[in-house]
Chain A
Amino acid sequence: MRALLLALLTLAPSLAAAQGACDTDLPARPVGPLQVGELDGFLAVPHRACPREEVALGGDVLLVADTADLYGNLHVNGRGRLSALLGDPRVEAFVSWEAVRYQALLSAVSSSYLGLGYLSWGASGQLEEREGRAFALTGRMVLPTTTGLDQSSQPLAMDLGVTGAFVLNENFRAHIWLTLLGSLGIGAGPADPRGGVRFGGGLDWRPFEWLSFVAEVQSGFFYRALLDVLAVNAGVRLALGPEVGVELAAALPLFGERAFDDGALPLGASLMVSWRPPGGFVAGL
């Protein structure tokens, strides 16, 4: 792990050492990788390298339309997320829960589901923050808490990754990530274990402190296919004062499973509104 961090350090762009990677005048503005992903329970969505306490509410939409194959998958959810520091300001625990999930499989015979979604929980530990860069190690587990979507086999998924954040200059920040992911089925059927790796990076441009635009490139291998995904993500972040932040993000898989190169129309989007109490939950409450 240390060697990996050194390698990332070596590859990191020229850093603006004047600001810390986690510093911000508007603490509520979201930072780090965009929170948008196509796997259930937000598996393999990289976590930020800067721990914080916050609660967020929002929703996600995922649409995969492949008319040539008469296949469509529409998934809409309402989600809540809670992050809290575990005594150590560098260790953050988080839980994300699809409180309501609607999914429609569109085919010659279509089906739909409305119920609870997946719950994921994890922790992130910041390994380093200095000279305009920060790194954190994050682990996550996704639990099958649906009410009837998974019937005979319950999926269990985990990921483990490292995220880096860098200050390039006053207006630009960068982030990168490397994540290992895996899952299997629990039940009387085949476990069918799968594993893969994802890595990517992005740029966060802040013309103003309260506004930033993010662009990312994400790649994944082995989990669903040799080339699992090669996508571009884009987002906009707002800080509505010091305590409330908004992130609107979209992901567009260009290559990989059910991607543009397959002739499909895939699109994921996420909207989250977060509240970060000044001084943390204890002080905020």
Chain B
Amino acid sequence: MRFWIAGWWMVVALALASCSPDNCLSADGDCTVPTPCAELELACAGGVEPTVRVLASGDPIPGGIDALASPGDVVLDNGVVTAVIDALDHPHYVAPTGGNLIDLTSAARNDDSLTHLFHGVGLLPDDTIVYDRLTTESGPGFAAVQVFGSLAGFERVRVATRYELRGCEPGIRVRTEIANLTTEPRSWSLVDAWYWSGREALPFAPGVGRGFEQPGLVDTVEDSWEDMPFMAAAAHVDPGATYFEVACDRPALSGWHTEQLSAVGLPPRIVQPRDFEIFERFIGVTGGRGLAPAVDQALGIRDALFDEPTVELRGRVTGELVFGDEARATVLVEEGTLATPPEERTPWTQVTPRVDGSFDVRVPASRSYVVTVRSFGRDEAQVEARAMLDDVDVGTLALAPAPGLDVSVTVDGVADWAMVFVHPADDATDADVRAHFFGGFYECAPLLGSSTGGSPACDRILVNGSDSVALPPGRYDVFATAGLFATVARDTITVASGERAAVSLALERLPVAPAGTLGADFHVHGGASFDSTVPDFDRVAAWLAANIDVLAATDHDVVWDYANARAALGADDRLRVLVGLEATGHILFDLTPGHDIPQVIGHWNVWPLPFEVDGAYRGAPWDELVEPGALFDRFVDAGWPRDTGVIQLNHPWSPAQFGRDLGFPRAVGVDARVPLPREYDGTGPSLVLRTPDGAGFGNADYHTQEVMNGTANEDLQPFRAYWFYLLNQGIVRAGTGNSDSHGLVDNLLGTPRTLVWTDQVLGSFDDAAFNADVRAGHMIGTNGPVIEIATTDASGGARTPSVEAFAPGPGALLSIRVSAAPWVPVDEVRIVVNGRVARTLQAELSHPVDPFGVDGLVRFEGDVALSELLPDGTADAWIVVEAGEALPLTGDLNCDGIPDTGDIDGDGVVDWRDVERDDPIDAAPELCDPDQEIGPLGHPPEPARDAPGYVFLAVTPEGYPFAFTNPLLFDRDGGGFSGPGLEGP
């Protein structure tokens, strides 16, 4: 008995010892989270007394390419930094609620380049944090926001986060506390998730062989975590900010980085019931393009916390520079010596030289460094420096004077906008100039500028009449293009160091597009999208350079109208903008019955939507956690006109990215060999035609489907196959071709585009009437060829492509006319009947002699009797006509009726050997195994520089000519169009 009394007293004593917690994990009500980074004392000056306030309508909001603050969000401001915490009912992207960092600007207040910063403990939806209470606090020298909540999947896991801003500090102190009050152990890694989403900021973290070169997520996932003293990331745009994060309560952050997302914080560990984690860090921001100011701050904080002294390295870059241009000259500082292999050095910082070529950076003391000047993505000059306890002048790094290119372009004799491509004219130049911008994003040859920002970008320049650019020495072909229906001009230059070359390129608009048509791009992004940093001005200039007539502004999860850039460029005099949205699911949920992995519903375009200049998501509806039909209801609630607006199914068969499905039919597991269930039967495919409970729309109540998406058009055949699959079942949606352009490099705006037959003209444009033509399918999709087809119906009336079926006239002919600019190869015309190519015309086609000329536009004109094409009998049928190059060879390895793999090894057979695998295999997988690895579809072989098709490739990177018409739908039995069925006739 005494034994047990003693034991209980020990328990009581121990329990009392823990009764004064310095945290909010035990509190049921509001609590004050301890101040983060209490040990950190930063010496700084300037700024104002920190304030915290809730944004009201009409309040000034921070600006920047990623700014999303709206009334209800909470702003922390000290005159040096402005931070916006999104309101609890304004969740963004992956986070299920607000309470996360949505905007973060420097003192300039116009350079927000932060997509989103949220918290979590793992990769599953249940591992994100749901905040349900928000409080604010302020006092002498500080202002704070506190949020309280739990894990999305576990109410018993308590979370509290404090964001605290102090006077003059270049960032916010953050403390997150999380306790496992469930009854089981969990595997957690409490991290800050920086959502870059691609084409935005490029993360950087010091490590051996690291810096910008990060391995990302590896197999196994938990092996991805690496320690780092800090993290920094810059968007490398103007205006743009650079961000950094330093842990306060431990010597290193642990995490990983990809171009999509960085996760930094605590390493994964087992967290037993009742155990908890506390993570304190400093999240800062500096203005400008380079990393150095942010890295200097991060190292200063580490010095203050961990007694890690730093020294200054300074120097000067000489040569003819375009200052501030990071592609022309940027300085990288790596720990190591010149004898150290590059992969064994530790990058510490990156800086863009000032106007006078000078630069200075801070680095950890008592180490050796290699200072490298990189120009056009290539290392040009290096010096080794030993930095002990005193600042070091590394001296002068001389750059050879860069060649210059002066370009002038006219369109129809007048200076106008055009896209100019600079391509290596020989293999030697290609090998010399091919590079990545800081090792990330796109590979460019040459690298004239960041591949994700404004002009010059990668290997191309937006020119309005004339422009100049620096470039590396070499021999180049310079091409100018003004869209699909104009000539292409070329000149060839050879430039050595210090030389200049001048080219004048004259373009001429061609009468390729028929009268009564408008060229449209229904899938366009700009900097407002979370995965784009192209400035609005460059985005709108690209519209003008492409000579597009109509476009749908469809940014991800935000409505944006580009009004300022449109006004500055006078764009509204030349084109019509339909303001819309691309609804982009982020939060995974149980979509498909029987599917173990949670999913999203893919991407959906919608236009028009009202733009709210300071509204949440600028007028877009929250698009998470619902089936498409219910999403369409939200569109209506946001002001979309259901009777005259358009909803488009985007890239229906694209593979998932970062675990998020891009195409709804693929996500739900459609098998194109079997008909779609017409009633919901609990299977994934039966979701396609289902109306969700309580919804006013069915999941298939969209109007158009992308058949062509992207300049490379690599997913054409799967999208086409799915569209044919629906047509064969009488499920008719109009087909479109769109660029899905996010910048100047990923996809060329307007290539492809949709040519719409309409009575509307610019200057007296009726959106609803135009949209009616779109919904009616009076369109073709094209990246060059223009196809006009017509036939006659039973009453003798002319019929052209549309979604309206008709009975064909007796003896009716299919009239076909194919035109194209001379630089667009058209090798064949295919007549597709009920999904199969019934006839291919090749010998009948004519081909222009000079791709740079103006002659030879019409490639084919002729008639074919419908009776020769349609199957016998009276079953419904449909015809689509295609033109361009022969379609690349593809196969369907997983036997779902959709092409998935191309002839990658070029042996003429598509099989398992063509599949790109991380782990090679020696034997073929089981035939038609639905879980086998598949893809890629690949690209056709590139023509040689002197081949006729090279001109097309030069201005349509990785693309091949293709155009398609919308269908002629034949209701031959008079019972309405129900399709010919999957098997024929």
* A36 to B221 alpha-carbon distance, docked (Å): 33
Bound Cα distance A110, B271 (Å) = 11
In this complex, the member of A112, A153, A156, A225 whose beta carbon has the largest number of chain B beta carbons within 10 angstroms is: A153
Residue pair A108, B185 in contact (C-beta under 8 Å) = no
**Cβ-defined partner of A190 (8 Å) among B14, B122, B181, B186:** B181
Decide if B3 touches A113 in the complex (CB within 8 Å). Answer: no
Interface-located stretch among B19-27, B311-319, B821-829, B840-848: B19-27
Pairwise interchain contact A189-B270, C-beta atoms closer than 8 A: no
Distance between Cα atoms of A225 and B182 in the complex (Å)? 10
- Please give me the residue from chain A that is nearest to B179 by CB atom: A189
Q: For the complex, what is the distance from the CA of A73 to the CA of B186, rounded to whole Å?
A: 9
Contacts of B274 in A (CB 8 A): 153, 155, 184-185, 187, 189-192
Q: Return A226 CB to nearest CB of chain B, in Å.
A: 12
B428 at the interface (CB under 8 A from A): no
A6 neighbours in B (Cβ, 8 Å): none
Give A188 to B179 CA distance when docked, in angstroms: 11
Q: Does B14 lie within 8 Å of A186, measured CB to CB?
A: yes
A110-121 interface code vs B (CB 8 A; 1 in, 0 out): 111100000000
Question: Separation in Å of the A116 CB from the closest CB of chain B?
Answer: 14
Of A64, A109, A155, A187, the contact of B273 (CB 8 Å cutoff):
A155
Q: How far is the CA of A189 from the CA of B186 in the complex (A)?
A: 16
The distance in angstroms between the C-alpha atoms of A64 and B187, with both chains bound, is 14
Residues in B with CB closer than 8 Å to A152 are: 275-278
Q: In chain A, residues 69-108, which have Cβ atoms closer than 8 Å to a Cβ of chain B?
A: 70-71, 73, 103, 105-108
Distance (whole angstroms) from the CB of B908 to the closest CB of chain A? 41
Whether B218 is near chain A, meaning CB under 8 Å from some CB there, is no
B191 to chain A, nearest CB (A): 10
Please indicate the chain B residues that have their CB under 8 angstroms from the CB of A107 in the complex. 122, 124, 186-187
Check A123 for interface membership: any CB of B closer than 8 A: yes
Q: Is there contact, CB below 8 Å, between A191 and B275?
A: no
- Which chain B residues lie closer than 8 Å to A70 at the CB level? 124
CB of A109 within 8 A of CB of B183, answer no
* CB of A209 closer than 8 Å to a CB of B: no
Report which of A67, A150, A224, A225 forms a contact with B272, defined as CB distance below 8 A. Answer: A150
Instruction: Give 1 or 0 for each of B1-18: 1 = CB within 8 Å of chain A CB.
Output: 001100100010011011
A59 lies within 8 A of chain B by Cβ? no
In contact, A188 and B221 (Cβ under 8 angstroms): no
Interface assignment of A206: CB less than 8 Å from any CB of chain B: no
Q: Is B18's CB under 8 angstroms from A139's CB?
A: no
**What chain A residues lie within 8 Å of B15 (beta carbons)?**
184, 186, 191
Residue B127 CB within 8 A of the other chain: yes
Task: Check if B11 sits within 8 Å of A156, measured CB to CB.
Answer: yes
- B693 interfacial contact with A, CB 8 Å: no
A109 and B181 contact, CB distance less than 8 A:
no
Residues of chain A lying within 8 A (CB to CB) of residue B21:
188-190
In angstroms, Cα B124 to Cα A234, docked, is 37
B189 at the interface (CB under 8 A from A): yes
B199 to chain A, nearest CB (A): 26
Partner of A141 from B7, B188, B275 at Cβ < 8 Å: B7
Bitwise, A168-203 to B at CB < 8 A (1) or not (0) is 000000000000000011111111101000000000
Is there a chain B Cβ closer than 8 Å to A68's Cβ?
yes
Cβ of A63 < 8 Å from any Cβ of B? no
- A117 and B799 CA atoms in complex are apart in Å by 80
- Number of B interface residues in the complex (CB < 8 A): 41
Decide if B269 is an interface residue (CB 8 Å cutoff): yes
B275 touches A189 (CB 8 A): yes
Cβ–Cβ < 8 Å partners of A109 in chain B:
122-123, 187-189, 221-222, 268
Given A149-B270, A189-B21, A110 contacting B124 (CB threshold 8 A):
no
**B11 to A158, Cβ gap below 8 A?**
yes
Q: Determine the residue in chain A with the shortest Cβ distance to B121.
A: A109
Q: How large is the interface on A (under 10, 10 to 19, 20 to 34, 35 or more residues)?
A: 35 or more
Most B CB atoms within 10 A — which of A64, A105, A257? A105
Q: For the complex, give the distance between the alpha carbons of A112 and B179 in Å.
A: 19
Smallest distance from the beta carbon of B221 to chain A beta carbons, Å? Answer: 6
Q: How far is the CB of B291 from chain A (nearest CB, A)?
A: 28
CA distance A161 to B274 in the complex (A): 25
Tell me, rounded to whole Å, the shortest Cβ–Cβ distance linking A154 to chain B: 8
Of A64, A184, A188, A194, which is within 8 A of B23 by CB? A188
Bound together, the chains give a CA A152 to CA B14 distance in angstroms of 14
Residue B946 at the chain A interface, CB threshold 8 Å: no
Cα-based distance from A108 to B588 in the complex (angstroms): 14
Chain B 172-197 per-residue mask, 1 if CB under 8 angstroms from chain A, else 0: 00000001010111111100000000
Do B26 and A190 touch across chains, with their CB atoms under 8 A apart?
A: yes
CA distance A190 to B158 in the complex (A): 10
> What residue of chain B has the Cβ atom nearest to residue A194's Cβ?
B183
In whole Å, how far is B223's beta carbon from the nearest beta carbon of chain A?
A: 10
Within the complex, the shortest CB–CB distance from B12 to chain A, in Å, comes to: 10
Tell me if A189 and B23 are in contact (CB < 8 A).
Answer: yes
Q: Which among A108, A112, A149, A257 is the interface contact of B122 at CB below 8 angstroms? A: A108
A-side contacts of B275, CB under 8 Å: 150-153, 185, 189
The reply to whether the CB of B596 lies closer than 8 angstroms to some CB of chain A is yes
Q: How far is the CA of A225 from the CA of B184 in the complex (A)?
A: 12
Cα distance A135–B929 in the bound complex, in angstroms: 61
Contacts of A110 in B (CB 8 A): 187, 220-222, 268
Chain B residues, CB < 8 A from A108? 122-124, 127, 221
The chain A residue with its CB closest to the CB of B275 is A153
**A222 to B189 Cα, complex, angstroms:** 30
Query: Which of A68, A107, A149 lies at the interface centre, i.e. has the most chain B CB atoms within 10 A of its CB?
Result: A107
Chain B hits for A184, CB < 8 A = 11, 15, 274
Contact of A112 among B186, B270, B273, B278 (CB under 8 A): B270
A-B contact pairs, 17 of them (CB 8 A): A73-B185, A105-B186, A110-B220, A149-B272, A151-B269, A152-B277, A153-B179, A155-B273, A184-B274, A185-B274, A185-B275, A186-B18, A188-B18, A188-B23, A192-B273, A194-B183, A225-B183
Binding site for B on A (CB under 8 A): 64, 67-68, 70-71, 73, 103, 105-113, 123, 139, 141, 149-153, 155-156, 158, 160, 184-192, 194, 224-225, 257-258
Across the A-B interface, give the 4 residue pairs with the lowest CB-CB distance, nearest first. A185-B274, A105-B187, A224-B183, A108-B123
Known: A68-B596, A108-B124. 17 other contacts (CB 8 A): A105-B185, A109-B187, A110-B220, A111-B268, A111-B269, A113-B269, A113-B270, A153-B275, A158-B11, A160-B4, A185-B275, A189-B18, A189-B276, A191-B15, A191-B274, A192-B274, A225-B183
